[in-house]
Chain A
Amino acid sequence: MSDMATENFANLAPSNAQKFRMRVLPFVLFAAVAVLIPLFGPSRSAYSLLNAIGINIVFALSYNMLLGRAGLLSFGHAVYFGLGGYAALHAMGMIENADGGFWGSVPVFAMPLVGFAGGALAGAVIGWPSCRRAGTAFAMISLGVAELIAAMGFMFGSIFGGEEGISGDRMNGPEVFGLSLGPIGEVYWFIAFWTVLAALLIFAFTRTPLGRMSEATRDNPQRVEFVGYDPTRVRYLVFIAAGGFAGLAGGMSAVNYEIFTPEALSLLPSGFVLIMTYVGGARYFAGPVLGAIVLTYMQSNLSDFTEAWLLYLGLLFITIVMYAPNGLAGIVAGLWNGTRATGMAYLKTWAARVVAIAIAMVGVIVLVEVAVRKSNGYGEVFEPFGLHLTPGSPLTWALVIVPLIVGLGLLRHLARDEQEAGA
């Protein structure tokens, strides 16, 4: 009996092949994709989008150190992003004005490190009182701190620059890797380098004893205390690290945009990083990466197609929270595992579900687009594929109601089938 237990225990450890597949391969692929993208000769707008995605990947990953790993729901993570970014911009200013000396030899390429220091320092100061409690108290304190710092942003002009913010110039100081950082294509390499490095470091952090203890603190702080760790201390240290990586993303943003305004500290970006992480999937390490890619793309491109894009974002968020709490990464993982376990049958129901959702979406989109144009009052008409959909026409309402009923009905039918199959 005891022999068997030992044997089983040994089998639980991942084999070398599994280790490679789970830990090394994804990062190799990630880095390879980052290196291969410029070979496709992306346009400038594609580069702007990719840079924004890189920044948001690091930002969302740092947020997931709190939300997914340590179980701390923070409403003020942009504070560390912003303070790190401001630190980097002030450093860029010093590089610009440096006449030799220390700052004269610091490359702008290293600004994310300054951002890291700034974010970690802010985390160390603000985390000291707020990490004493987890759960609701922590969330409320983070909310208060975020408002406080954002309000301060408009008051201390010499630090935050008031309404205009602080601007800098990235083309100063010594060059690293032969990058002048002038053209956006060169900034891409800077962003890619730091995104891959930060993702690696954050992943490495989850493998350290501290990273492991933070998960234990999330699941059962009492038991953590019993085995001799102080949950407050664990939370505090994770908080500092998360603040540091958020600041690193801020430093990347400072170099990319060369400007920071007090809005960067406010609740809006704090909420956006929460949505990115949650939609991507807080339980998976790759979740925030996925969320950052999808939502940054939506933010920059969907807003060109429709002014109601925030509404679609809200719908997506609510749908994910209610029906797919493991986020997009959970959906992908479920698809992978399900297909491997039950083969084509699973894939078929999954495809049917996608079709049902797409049908229901037609109804939602028609309703939203017609309503938005009506409320604008310019008399503009929603005209997809040459159709003329006015708020009064029966065709409009048919296109709203029929797809909604068909789509939702199909979803319900599929869910019932699955339940019966399960039972």
Chain B
Amino acid sequence: MNFTKSAALAAAISLCAGMAFSDTVKIGFIDPLSGPFGPTGDAGLKQFNFAADQINENGGMAGNTVEILPFDNKVNPKESLVQLQKAIDQGARFIVQGNGSSVASAIIDAVNKHNTRNPGDEVLFLNYAAVDPAFTNDRCSFWHFRFDSDADMKMEALTDWVTKNEDIKKVYLIGQDYSFGKAVAAAAERMLAEKAPDVEIVGNELHPLGKVKDFTPYIQKIISSDADAVITGNWGQDMVLLIKAAISSGSDVPYLTYYGGSLGAAVAMGEQAVGSVYQVSEVNTNLPTTDAQNALIDAYEAKYPNNNYYFHRIHMLMDMMDMAAEKSGSTDPKDIAMALEGMVVDGPYGTVTMRADNHQILQPLFVSVFSDNVQRDVENTSLGWASTDADRIEAEDTKTETTCKMERP
């Protein structure tokens, strides 16, 4: 039969593959590489490959070569599990993913199940961008580490900004209709009610994820609501198209975003968005930093001229994983996980800590504004992201209470 033969063949091949590459640390990258969110996933993959190359040039991860295996999940949770299975079958013991908390939720579940069912063959999930706060609270897992500040931590920064600006009295919330978008909206409502009870939320809208082609009707609703500011957690295509519609409809209120730096957004925004689009993130390339970091940014942007250094957290993730491997002298997922807990790193933009109690990273955050007066531009536009010292939020200040009860193996 056709498939017995192929099954036997597959077994033989995987056996040989296992023997030939035993000195390779394989990291399965599961994110969209096609479709509406393809460019976002691709940008992440490039930074992972770049970071892996750097580690390999400097002697590898505890002496082992690092290899990134890309898998396209089309931001579909079920497809992600199929790809996760493939990644594990191909020998990946580390999984990285970021785009879509719906996907991350499925992966956390599947990794937990896999690890209880296959003791000695554990898999570790390193999350670089899925920021649903539940993952480091009620649903926390020993096998999950988050290297991005969660939706609540970022919302603290944005709501502080709203509170400071006295002329903002009406806020409009718009987001993607899934766990992350809902978490953003809930956090905004809760924090605004707490910090600025006089600020009114004039709209709270959720739209389908990745399906809206023209945001003009949504923008018209925002304009007619007389909002003074808009808060959105949109990312990828949903961010680009939202801001494009806002610019072309002449909506000139501040847009407070999580992912205004999404690839393609800067070109869509252009000159008109200068001074009115804000983003909260762990980096903007115009921050004062070390020479080594500046050289790294230069090298990255020279290698990928169509991309910008955006996912600083990917480099932090790879560096911290590398350090954990050196510290424990092992590339076993369990040893790496143990070594990551409580790790403190002196990063190029300040001290970064991995919390041991819920596996959430603590890093400085910056509220940057889209500006035409920058040293490093994005997307070859002569525009870029800028921030002052006052816009910096120290890592320690982003710490939130956690409900996590970590169960360690």
Contact = CB atoms under 8 A, between A and B. Distances in A.
B10 A163 contact: no
Interface in B228-282: none
B77 interface: yes
Contacts of A128: none
B2 A43 contact: no
Interface string A288-313: 00000110010010000001000000
A257 B34 contact: no
Nearest to B209: A163
Nearest to B12: A43
B179 A259 contact: no
Contact of B113 (A44, A48, A162, A169): A169
B6 to A, nearest CB: 7
A42 B3 CA distance: 10
B85 A44 contact: yes
Interface string B15-55: 10000000000000000001000000000000000000000
A260 B79 CA distance: 10
Interface string B371-392: 0000000000000000000000
B89 A48 contact: yes
A41 B102 contact: no
B345 interface: no
Nearest to A260: B78
A40 B6 CA distance: 11
B82 interface: yes
Interface in A152-177: 154, 162-165, 167, 169, 171
Contacts of B8: 40, 42
Interface in A257-309: 257-261, 263-264, 293-294, 297, 300, 307
A257 B89 contact: no
A293 B102 contact: no
A33 B117 contact: no
Contact of B76 (A261, A297, A300): A261
Given A36-B4, A37-B4, A263 B11 contact: no
Interface in B326-358: none
B102 A257 contact: no
A297 B2 CA distance: 10
A297 to B, nearest CB: 7
Nearest to B74: A263
Contacts of A171: 113, 117
Contact of B3 (A41, A44, A182, A293): A293
B6 A164 contact: no
B3 A264 contact: no
A42 B89 contact: no
B285 to A, nearest CB: 24
A42 B89 CA distance: 12
A53 interface: yes
A307 B82 CA distance: 17
A46 interface: yes
B144 to A, nearest CB: 15
Interface string B214-231: 000000000000000000
B209 A307 contact: no
A263 B78 contact: yes
B81 to A, nearest CB: 6
Interface residues of B, number: 37
B403 interface: no
Interface string B87-130: 01110000000001110011001100100011000000000000
A261 B75 CA distance: 11
B208 interface: yes
A263 B76 contact: yes
B295 interface: no
Contacts of B101: 164
B109 to A, nearest CB: 5
A259 B88 contact: no
A86 to B, nearest CB: 12
Given A40-B4, A263-B78, A45 B86 contact: yes
B15 to A, nearest CB: 8
B14 interface: yes
A258 B14 contact: no
B319 interface: no
A9 B208 CA distance: 64
B205 interface: no
A50 interface: yes
Given A43-B14, A45-B10, A163 B89 contact: no
Contacts of B177: 154, 162-163
Interface string A36-63: 1100111111101110010000000000
B292 interface: no
Nearest to B208: A154
Contacts of B90: 45
A202 to B, nearest CB: 20
A43 B78 contact: no
A386 interface: no
**Which of A36, A165, A183, A300 has the most chain B CB atoms inside 10 A of its CB?**
A165
Given A43-B89, A44-B89, A183-B118, A258 B7 contact: no
A167 B6 contact: no
Contacts of B3: 37, 49-50, 53, 293, 297
Contacts of A163: 77, 100, 102, 177-179, 209
A43 B4 CA distance: 11
A88 to B, nearest CB: 14
A97 to B, nearest CB: 16
Contact of A40 (B11, B14, B105): B11
B78 A45 contact: no
A332 to B, nearest CB: 12
Given A48-B85, A154-B208, A164-B179, A43 B10 contact: yes
Contacts of B7: 37, 40, 42-43, 46, 49-50
**Which of A40, A45, A163, A307 has the most chain B CB atoms inside 10 A of its CB?**
A163
Interface of A: 33, 36-37, 40-46, 48-50, 53, 154, 162-165, 167, 169, 171, 182-183, 257-261, 263-264, 293-294, 297, 300, 307
Interface of B: 1-4, 6-8, 10-11, 14-15, 34, 76-78, 81-82, 85-86, 88-90, 100-102, 105-106, 109-110, 113, 117-118, 177-179, 208-209
9 contacts: A33-B4, A36-B4, A43-B7, A45-B86, A154-B177, A164-B102, A164-B105, A167-B105, A182-B117
Q: What 10 pairs between A and B have smallest CB-CB spacing? A: A163-B178, A45-B89, A46-B7, A164-B102, A182-B117, A42-B7, A43-B11, A163-B102, A43-B14, A46-B10
Given A164-B106, A167-B106, 6 more contacts: A45-B90, A46-B7, A49-B10, A165-B78, A258-B110, A258-B113
